[in-house]
Amino acid sequence: MSSDHARVTGAEFRRACGRFATGVTIASVLDAAGAPHGLTVSSFTSVSLEPPLVLVCLGHGVSNIQLFREATYFGINVLNEDQQALSDHFARKGHDRFGSIPWEKGASGVPLIPGCLARMECAVHRRVEMGDHDIFVGEMMHCEVSEGNPLIHFAGAYRKLELL
């Protein structure tokens, strides 16, 4: 980058990226004792069809990032438009996020949340440190898909999909 250009501020970066509508997911993992952990994540995307790869980005300040770093598998739960309260619950820090939330163990053992649009089980393929985040690339091993509309996040607020 040329020194003639001012660097984009964090607020400008967040505002510009917030103009890209995203779905909302809950990334999940088990700890060594078998307890479930998870957090709300909107930085999720598909990467490759062959092999079937997806990625999720977790900030270095995330309280349970070390659990994801140590895991062999992780789950992705794609939220439907009626699961905003679940997204808010998993976004809050300082409590047992799975304490009152029903969940099931997937084939790989990862926590999967009932009622989601998609539930994916991924084997960790690669982890890359990039800036203030870790990028976790996972190979999708199992998935379940349901009908419905997604919970959308745009410009700092939840939205619902409107069909044209």
Number of domains comprising the chain: 1
Q: Is 5 a member of any domain?
A: no
The pLDDT tens digits for 96-122 are: 899 999 999 999 999 999 999 999 999
Are 53 and 47 in contact, with CB atoms under 8 Å apart? yes
The pLDDT tens digits for 139-156 are: 999 999 999 999 999 998
**Residue 3: pLDDT band with limits 50, 70, 90:** low
Note the pTM of the prediction, 2 decimals. Answer: 0.92
**Looking at residue 108, which CATH number applies to its domain?**
2.30.110.10
The pLDDT tens digits for 43-85 are: 999 999 999 999 999 999 998 999 999 999 999 999 999 999 9
Residues 6+ apart with CB under 8 A from 19: 154, 155
Q: Is 18 a member of any domain?
A: yes
Q: Is 24 a member of any domain?
A: yes
Q: Is 3 a member of any domain?
A: no
Are 37 and 30 in contact, with CB atoms under 8 Å apart? yes
Question: Containing domain of residue 91, as a range?
Answer: 11-155
Q: Is 82 a member of any domain?
A: yes
Q: Is 17 a member of any domain?
A: yes
DSSP 45-86: EEEETTTTEEEEEEETT-TTHHHHHH-SEEEEEEPBTT-HHH
